[in-house]
């Protein structure tokens, strides 16, 4: 069994662990975790997770190490990791804006680093994760990381230089989608429609629309046209979105999100 260790046992670590421990990879990994909050690790014992005790003890005996801490906390763990880690281990970072080059420099050698950009729907096994293969990680090692995240959703491989620009597309987009949904539900409630009813209808429409985009074979423009009958209600509503610059607003939001990512990466 490969030894898979998590430094940090928060929501994202929990989501990944649940995916691995409850699927076909369950027999492939011995999972350990450590966290300043010992109760978080204790909860994970239900998934067969071993309390690793400390960064030093756990990382020295690991084949794959997941850095599941916030970017601002990296400085607290990297010196200890540098001193004790197994140098053949693959280091998986899920922290936004933390590059492979930064981690290699902090660890003091050409470490095997896989930078990953996941999102919170991993918590229900429906995550969307982007990742990049960076030398000297081998194809076999990279495939192991792909399989770990595929256990909790979909994975797409991109170039490392694109990992910050992808943040608004999958990392932050759930928050924007929730905000979009809130506007529809608020509208419905203002019209006297039950909020839960409106949310159910909107969410099912969202699921169906997503499947149409992925499975219908039609372009997004073609799908928009299918719903937008000339002189009809949808087209009238779309005119407001177009007049208010909806698509440009979304792009500006993405640019602002990515810009912050670059600032955090400095």
Which CATH number do you get for residue 54? 3.40.50.720
In this structure, are 98 and 21 located in the same domain? yes
Q: How far apart are CA 95 and CA 43, in angstroms?
A: 22
Domain endpoint, select from 116, 135, 159:
159
Work out the burial of residue 132: count CB atoms within 10 Å of its CB; fewer than 13 is exposed, 13-18 middle, 19 or more buried.
Answer: buried
Task: Let me know: does 78 contact 22? Beta carbons within 8 Å.
Answer: no
Q: How many domains does the chain have?
A: 2
Provide the pLDDT for residue 235: 96
What does each C-alpha distance from 104 to 129, 135, 198, 231 come to in angstroms? 22, 11, 49, 59
Q: How far apart are CA 24 and CA 26, in angstroms?
A: 6
The answer to whether position 239 is within a domain reads yes
- Percentage of the residues of the chain whose pLDDT score is greater than 90: 89
Work out the burial of residue 111: count CB atoms within 10 Å of its CB; fewer than 13 is exposed, 13-18 middle, 19 or more buried.
Answer: buried
Query: What would the two tokens of residue 209 be?
Result: 């629309």
Give the largest CA-CA distance in the chain. Answer: 68
In this structure, are 30 and 137 located in the same domain? yes
Domain of residue 33, residue span: 2-159
Q: How far apart are CA 228 and CA 236, in angstroms?
A: 9
In this structure, are 47 and 78 located in the same domain? yes
Provide the pLDDT for residue 71: 83
Continuous segment of H or E residues that includes residue 131: strand 127-131
Residues 6+ apart with CB under 8 A from 150: none
In this structure, are 41 and 96 located in the same domain? yes
In this structure, are 193 and 144 located in the same domain? no
Provide the pLDDT for residue 253: 97
The answer to whether position 164 is within a domain reads no
In this structure, are 129 and 151 located in the same domain? yes
Query: What would the two tokens of residue 241 be?
Result: 């979105």
| Mean of the per-residue pLDDT values of the chain | 95
Q: What's the mean pLDDT in 78-82?
A: 94
The answer to whether position 37 is within a domain reads yes
In this structure, are 122 and 208 located in the same domain? no
In this structure, are 127 and 179 located in the same domain? no
Q: Of the candidates 63, 1, 49, 54, which has an alpha carbon nearest to the alpha carbon of residue 27? A: 1
The answer to whether position 165 is within a domain reads no
Name beta bridge partners: 34: 7
Domain endpoint, select from 130, 159, 188:
159
Q: Is the confidence at residue 96, as pLDDT, over 90?
A: no
Q: Is the confidence at residue 266, as pLDDT, over 80?
A: no
The answer to whether position 17 is within a domain reads yes
Provide the pLDDT for residue 265: 79
Q: Give the pLDDT confidence of 119-177 residue by residue, as tens digits.
A: 999 999 999 999 999 999 999 999 999 999 999 999 999 999 999 999 999 999 999 99
In this structure, are 222 and 136 located in the same domain? no
pTM: 0.91
In this structure, are 155 and 92 located in the same domain? yes
């Amino acid at each position: 069994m490969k030894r898979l260790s998590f430094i940090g046992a928060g929501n994202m670590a929990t989501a990944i662990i649940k995916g691995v421990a409850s699927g076909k990879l369950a027999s492939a990994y011995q999972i350990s975790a450590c966290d300043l909050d010992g109760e978080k690790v204790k909860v994970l014992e239900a998934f067969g997770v071993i309390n690793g005790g400390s960064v030093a003890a756990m990382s020295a005996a690991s084949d794959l190490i997941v850095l599941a801490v916030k970017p601002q906390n990296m400085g607290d763990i990297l010196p200890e990791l540098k001193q004790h880690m197994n140098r053949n281990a693959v280091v998986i970072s899920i922290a936004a804006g933390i590059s492979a080059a930064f981690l290699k420099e902090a660890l003091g050698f050409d470490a095997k680093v896989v930078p990953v950009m996941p999102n919170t729907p991993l918590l229900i096994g429906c995550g969307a994760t982007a990742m990049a293969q960076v030398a000297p990680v081998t194809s076999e090692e990279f495939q192991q990381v792909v399989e770990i995240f595929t256990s909790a959703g979909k994975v797409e491989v991109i170039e490392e230089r694109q990992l910050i620009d992808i943040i608004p597309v999958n990392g932050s987009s759930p928050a924007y989608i929730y905000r979009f949904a809130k506007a529809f539900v608020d509208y419905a409630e203002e019209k006297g429609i039950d909020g839960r009813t409106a949310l159910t209808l909107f969410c099912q429409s969202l699921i169906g629309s997503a499947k149409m985009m992925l499975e219908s074979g039609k372009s997004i423009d073609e799908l928009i046209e299918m719903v937008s009958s000339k002189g009809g209600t949808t087209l009238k509503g779309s005119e407001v979105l177009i007049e208010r610059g909806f698509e440009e607003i979304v792009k500006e939001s993405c640019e602002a999100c990515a810009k912050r990512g670059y600032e955090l990466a400095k």
